[in-house]
Amino acid sequence: MSHDSSERPDGDLRNTGMSLRHDRKWDYELDRITEAVAERDAETVGLQFPEGLKRRGPGVADDLRELLPDNVSVMISGQPCYGACDLDTYMMKRTDVFVHFGHSPMKESDRIIYVPLFSNVDVFPIVDQALEDELAPPEEDPDVGLVTTAQHMNKFDEMREYLEERGYTVHVRRGDERLTNEGQVLGCNYASADVDAEQMLYVGGGKFHPLGLAMEHPEKHVVIADPVNNAVSVADTEKFMKQRYATVHKAMDADSWGVIFCTKIGQGRWDQAEEIVENNENAYLITMDEVTPDRLRNFGLDAYVNTGCPRITTDDGPQFHKPMLTPGEYKIAIGEKPLDSLEFDTFHGTW
């Protein structure tokens, strides 16, 4: 798998708007962490960062060491991390204070301090440009849905007011329990976009989230106002959908299947994995945490179904040496469902 961002597809899971090249100042909420250490008389502190911010880890550890008593040891998780679904449970069990940076809680727990890292970037210039370039004016279509990511949640109410002041009726909802906030989207969950509006305004960095949103809601016009890259565009899923159809076609010839059950805390869909294996004698249940092409290569099976993170399937899919399908796509490949039932694989609930 390439680690050069220039070679990555638009929707890559690693490219979710927290890239270091936009050198923003984040608030790591060190006071909250030091208070928790004092309250619990902690001796060990574990820090987990998403991929885009791992390079900040040593610096944050240095700052914490200066603030904490000498007998407290600080460690950094080296496990891959792409979401709040992806907590380092090993570290969590073995540290007195465990801090997860960069994502809002998927499930609250006393054992975890979530530091969401809100962006300080000004979103309004790019929202203005989106209104001018891509959103229908309120006289034509007053209804607009508004969504964003955890990084910009701190500006969500202001964004809503901003649109209302300009004559729009803004539609927002919280979605399901996998989402912490009203208007928040995840790469695998766009329930907050189930609103009564044909046009959606997504405010946030990168195309990863809005492409998922447009795949999940093909009937909607998804306008991207990206304050990180200072760009406005409309989500276009054609390339993704062609890639998915081509992969499903290839998998139709498969005789043997690997069915992946992901052991990451927030990515397990046991029932789906079990159902496939129970009904197909040529399917084998494979458990793993990180789903990568190299880890599957030696199994020598004809095709795979991934019941873990759907974005590994849709975004990294072409990098796998054999077809990798979502559970819904698998049903099409084995003839249980028609080809035109192909839809984006969303993930609901927590653990």
Interface ranges with ligand SF4 (CB under 6 A): 82-83, 85-86, 186-188, 267, 309, 311, 347
For residues 75-84, one letter each, b for 16 or more C-beta atoms within 10 angstroms of the residue's C-beta and e for the rest, the string is ebbeebbbbb
Question: Between residues 84 and 172, which has the closer beta carbon with respect to ligand SF4?
Answer: 84
CA–CA dist 24, 82 (Å, integer): 19
- For ligand SF4, give the closer residue by CB, 82 or 98: 82
Query: What is the closest distance, in whole angstroms, from the C-beta atom of residue 167 to ligand SF4 in the complex?
Result: 34
Q: At closest approach, how far in Å is the CB of 238 from ligand SF4?
A: 21
From the list 6, 347, 5, the residue with the least C-alpha distance to 185 is 347
Count other C-beta atoms under 10 Å from residue 190's C-beta.
27
Q: Which is nearer to ligand SF4, 29 or 51 (CB)?
A: 51
- Strand, coil or helix: 322: coil
Give the end-to-end CA distance of the chain in Å, rounded to a whole number: 29
Task: Give me the least distance between CB of 84 and ligand SF4, in Å please.
Answer: 6
In which residue are the tokens 């539609």 written? 171
67 token code pair: 């603030």
Q: How far is the CB of 187 from ligand SF4 (least distance, A)?
A: 3
> Closer CB to ligand SF4, residue 131 or residue 179?
179
| Residue with smaller CB distance to ligand SF4, 57 or 187 | 187
Name the DSSP class of 336: S
- Taking the complex as a whole, how short is the minimal distance between the CB of residue 39 and ligand SF4, in angstroms? 29
Residues 6+ apart with CB under 8 A from 133: 232
Distance of CA 176 to the CA centre of its chain: 15
Nearer to ligand SF4, 304 or 347 (CB): 347
For the bound state, the minimum distance from the C-beta of residue 292 to ligand SF4, rounded and expressed in Å, comes to 14
